[in-house]
Structure 1
Amino acid sequence: MIKFSFLFTLSFFASTSLFAFQDMEDVKIEVIPVNENIYMLMGRGGNIGVSVGDNGVFMIDDQYAPLSAKIRQAIKSISEQPVKFLVNTHHHGDHTGGNSNFEKEGTLIFAHENVRKRLKEDKKNTDQLGLPIITFDHKMHLHLNGDDILVVHVHNAHTDGDALIYFPKSNVLHTGDTFFNGMFPYIDLKGGGSVAGDIEAAKTGLMLINENTKIIPGHGPLATYLDYKNYLNMLEGIKRNVMAAMKAGSSKEEIVADESLTSGYITDAAAEKAFITGPKIRATYYDSLSNNKD
């Protein structure tokens, strides 16, 4: 089996509720050129995708609200155009936290219908700000900045509202949190995610692209086609291992404790400081597979 090097765990670990709003003053937004007019922004939370051109700035996700000013400043280093369009890949706060700030500046927000529902139902959002204005069910096309952007919903993957965003001309794919590069996946079962859906999301993404595509993952460094394919292999391999253990009669406690089910991809030691550790991912797989949905 292919061994994964454990990369970039700190970014997502630091984006959990315990750490999300600590030391925001020290966060630096890094601008990484991806291909042609596409850039990736890394800071605290989910990776941001940015397309710049004559139609204005098109942004994918926006991290946390306290970082909006820094994100705007980073974007100004590559374009003087305003952020006119924003797509949320899913509803989690490290990807949608800045929605209300950009909304106030006239940014038009898009997302899957389930993203709007979950943000609208969030008890913390008492003012109902930052909700997507345009929603879709299956897919959506945006013709901006010289590219025919394809936004595709992948259901019950990381959550129940995930979207993949593909730029055919630039040959860049943003996966949202259906791809954690170099890490175990985070499958939010309470948010509508599932093992089967996460696997299908990776398969869908790989069908959209080719071996030269550059991939912006939800978390982790800029990725290649091979990185993405290896990630799918990990998702499927862990599923096979956990299902075999379940069929052999192993209890949840035994599966959670059995590092051999996942160590061929990432060891427990390598993942011990990550948001999703070895025991956590084994528990997630057991719970998802036990629901007879996978």
Structure 2
Amino acid sequence: MFSKAILSSFLFLIAINSYAQTDTGEKASNKLIKVSNKIYMMQGNGGNIGLSVGNDGVFMIDDQFAEEIEQIQKDIKKISDKPVRFLVNTHFHGDHTGGNAGMAKSGTVLFSHENVRKRLLEVMRKETKKMPEDALPLVTFSEDLTFHFNGEKIYVFHVHNAHTDGDAMIYFTDSNVLHTGDVFFNGKYPFIDEQNGGSLMGNISAMEKALNIINEDTKIIPGHGNIATFKDLQTGTNMLTTVYKRVYTHYANKKSEEEVAKMTDITQEYDAKGYGSGFISTDAFLRMVYKNVAEERNSIDSNAEKNRKAREKVEKMMKEQEQKEKN
């Protein structure tokens, strides 16, 4: 029930917040932040966009909402008069892929993990308002992908069952900049889409993989939030690991989801830093962690029971065989 409620709220917010507005009702412009000589982050109403600009053109990561794409394209022109040649979706959620069709129509080639295309196809089949087929990535990959663009190697790699089942991170190796997609919400509790293949332990593993690839000087563009550092990503990883262990202990001691959701001491030090002030509240986060722990334990207990029954069956067969030999 929890994940369905959270996902419904998430999609509802995406629908009603299709573009940011000023007090006058006009569209708010996006904020362009220079991360390195070649790399920019664009902050708007959806997920953070990554941009590489250079002689080869523009390389883009995610594109927020459909209603905003014209303004986004205008804002990109402020830093480069060259075309956006390639775009990589970090996952399938509408605040990161809503502008896909608009970008494709302008000649941009769309890339994503194969599960992103699969999820977008599912959305297309379910939606009453038809999503343009142009919104589908033209090129998909299963694990890793490398671009040689704007004078550097751009490493795109899949992380398994993290925020969703189709997450990709993008590492600009020479610029030393990493875009994490929604695997990392800087300074906030993350949303993990369990209904679409996401998992808490997968998210932790993905963040640990990123930490092993980058270094202490790497600048990080998170899916949401401000530009981050290696230390910020470490802190986010430690937060997830710490809260998971604490909830696991309470679950093992037979505490219910309702009881755990009210235990403010579990997240006290993170709440004090504002982690619960984002899209995911402390209550919702604790319930999500509890649900992940419960599913993990149920799987372990189920396998243990299957193994027990298998052992009993083998022992019974052995005894029957021994009896036959005696007779």
Tell me the TM-score normalised to structure 2 length: 0.82
Q: How far 1:231 moved relative to its partner?
A: 0.6
Q: Give the distance between the partners of 2:204 and 2:164, measured in 1 at CA.
A: 12
Q: Which runs of 5+ in 1 are unaligned?
A: 1-12
Q: How does 1:1-294 map to 2 (within 5 A)?
A: 16-17=13-14, 19-21=16-18, 23-24=20-21, 25-122=26-123, 123-124=126-127, 125-267=130-272, 270=274, 273-292=277-296
SS of corresponding position for 2:280: coil
Q: Give the distance between the partners of 1:15 and 1:219, measured in 2 at CA.
A: 18
Q: How far 1:288 moved relative to its partner?
A: 1.4
The structure with the largest helix share of the pair is 2
Q: How far 1:17 moved relative to its partner?
A: 2.8
SS of corresponding position for 1:260: helix
Which amino acid in the other structure matches residue 276 of structure 1?
I
Name the stretch that deviates more: 21-30 or 172-181: 21-30
After superposition, give the CA deviation of every residue in 1:263-290 in whole Å (9 maximum; x if it has no partner).
22124x9456531000100111111121
Which fold has the larger relative contact order, with Cα–Cα distance below 8 Å and residues 6 or more apart in sequence? 1
Contact conserved, 2:20 with 2:44, CA < 8 A, in 1?
A: no
Q: How far 1:36 moved relative to its partner?
A: 1.5
Q: Give the distance between the partners of 2:203 and 2:169, measured in 1 at CA.
A: 12
When the two structures are aligned, how many residues end up with a matched partner? 281
% identical equivalent positions? 47
Classify 1:35/1:14 alpha carbon distance in 2 versus 1 (closer, same or farther; 3 Å): farther
Which amino acid in the other structure matches residue 245 of structure 1?
H
Q: How far 1:54 moved relative to its partner?
A: 1.6
Classify 1:214/1:259 alpha carbon distance in 2 versus 1 (closer, same or farther; 3 Å): same
Q: Which runs of 5+ in 2 are unaligned?
A: 1-9, 301-327
Which amino acid in the other structure matches residue 282 of structure 1?
L
Q: How far 1:127 moved relative to its partner?
A: 3.6
Q: Which has the larger radius of gyration?
A: 2
Tell me the TM-score normalised to structure 1 length: 0.91
